[in-house]
């Protein structure tokens, strides 16, 4: 993905007392070194926008999409005028119609609205991690730059059944992937990008082991403070 929040494990002390191991990471925001899109001015509508799909639906500016009833919220800018609001709502609704109208889907009109490679790469992250945030959906980010298409990312949250064993694809039924995977050309592109990144994906277990070794002693102390258990059935 174009940007993923950076972070590191830290030991946290409060008033001189050790209170555990935490993960300190960047927040998602529009910035040259984060989500690098144009900042929207009051007199334009095309971009850039940072959007979040979240079933909490608690932002001031939000709408539910017409076809899939998905909860879109404006994260940046957090204040938009009527023209900007309608622009994004119409863009999303046209995108959904292009996917779920048989004739328009067959013509692959959805390619006019979404950045396909970002949708594929984001899907890889969900499947490799076993994340189920997209089911609700929660913490699903998209953005649209000026003159650009709707782009998936950045990745965020990952606290819902992440890294628990699973034997089937988690994300195909969520968001728009049920429909996208009905397009043979989309599936072919997924295979192309899988082969492109496969050697990098194969290094992930070693990376996880190295991170675990780094915090091995800390994890023992942290578990004593905050005993966390997971059962592998995903309950």
Q: In the chain, how many H helices and how many E strands? A: 7, 7
Selection from 41-45, 150-154, 226-230 with the highest mean pLDDT = 150-154
Q: Tokens for 180?
A: 């996208």
- Confidence class of residue 160 from pLDDT cuts 50, 70 and 90? confident
pLDDT (tens digit per residue) in 179-218 = 999 999 999 999 999 999 999 999 999 999 999 999 999 9
What is residue 170's predicted lDDT score, i.e. its pLDDT? 64
Angle formed at CA 75 by CA 68 and CA 109, multiple of 5 degrees: 40
Centre a 10 Å sphere on the Cβ of residue 232 and count the other Cβ atoms it contains.
7
What is residue 171's predicted lDDT score, i.e. its pLDDT? 61
- Confidence class of residue 234 from pLDDT cuts 50, 70 and 90? very low
DSSP 14-76: ETTEEEEEEEEEPPP-BSTTSB--PPPPTT--S--EEEEE-TT--SSSEEE-TTT--EEEEEE
pTM of the model: 0.92
How much of the chain exceeds pLDDT 90, in percent? 82
């Amino acid at each position: 993905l174009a940007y993923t929040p950076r972070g590191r494990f830290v030991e946290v002390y409060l008033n001189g007392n050790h209170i555990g191991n935490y993960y300190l990471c960047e927040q998602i925001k529009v910035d040259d070194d984060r989500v690098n899109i144009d900042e929207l001015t009051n007199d334009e509508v095309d971009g850039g926008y940072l959007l979040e799909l979240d079933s909490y639906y608690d932002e001031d500016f939000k709408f539910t999409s017409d076809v899939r009833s998905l909860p879109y919220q404006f994260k940046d800018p957090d204040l938009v005028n009527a023209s900007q609001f309608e622009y994004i709502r119409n863009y999303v609704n046209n995108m959904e119609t292009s996917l779920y109208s048989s004739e328009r889907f067959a013509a692959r009109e959805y390619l006019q609205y979404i950045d396909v490679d970002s949708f594929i790469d984001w899907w890889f992250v969900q499947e490799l991690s076993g994340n189920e945030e997209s089911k609700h959906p929660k913490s699903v980010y998209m953005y649209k730059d000026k003159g650009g298409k709707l782009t998936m990312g950045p990745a965020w949250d990952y606290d819902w059944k992440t890294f628990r064993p699973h034997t089937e694809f988690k994300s195909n039924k969520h968001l728009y992937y049920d429909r996208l995977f009905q397009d043979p050309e989309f599936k072919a592109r997924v295979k192309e990008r899988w082969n492109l990144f496969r050697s990098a994906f194969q290094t992930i277990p070693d990376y996880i082991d190295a991170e675990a070794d780094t915090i091995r002693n800390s994890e023992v102390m942290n578990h004593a403070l905050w005993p966390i258990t997971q059962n592998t059935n995903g309950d």
